[in-house]
Amino acid sequence: MIREINRTDKNFFISSCEDFYSSPAVIHSVPKQNFEKTFDLLMDKTPYARCFICEKDGERVAYFLLAVTYSNECGGIVIWGEEMYVKPEFRSHGIGREFFSYVENEYKDVAKRFRLEVTEENTRAAALYEKLGYGHLDYLQMIKE
């Protein structure tokens, strides 16, 4: 079952973020207070982010964090797959496919583009994304903090 995150998911979300940010899915660590801020924003129903939880037999097994933005380039709303974390023992059970199907259906009449990032080391995730129809976007990303 996939559902919107709620207040009872806080401990699961925080611990899953810690696991996610210590994995090859990311290139650097993130302070724990960022996870707390994100959770608080999600609970305040920010229009810029949503998070979905996947449960199997009543157990929380995954989360999918999305960011919502507008792009002049594609002429509409872009849904960014910011983070997808699946507990290791539940990987390769179709949860990633289920998440993407759910989100793409949820935003089918709203989004002009779905976008995500993947590290070169995260080959399993990249293979899944390619199977789901995602292609490479040859931009060099730059940031300023």
* Average confidence (pLDDT) over 5-32: 95
**Sheet order of strands, 76-86 included:** 2-4, 49-56, 59-71, 76-86, 111-116
Residue found under tokens 């960011």: 67
Domains of the chain: 2-131 (3.40.630.30)
For residue range 89-110, what is the model confidence (pLDDT) as tens digits?
999 999 999 999 999 999 999 9
Nearest CA-CA partner of 116 in 86, 88, 78, 85: 78
CA distances from 145 to 33, 65, 81 (A): 17, 21, 21
Q: What is the pTM of this model?
A: 0.91
- Each residue of 50-99: pLDDT tens digit? 999 999 999 999 999 999 999 999 999 999 999 999 999 999 999 999 99
CA distance 100 to 16: 19
- Which among 85, 90, 95, 66 has a CA at the least distance from the CA of 20? 85
| CA–CA distance, 85 with 116 (Å, rounded to integer) | 13
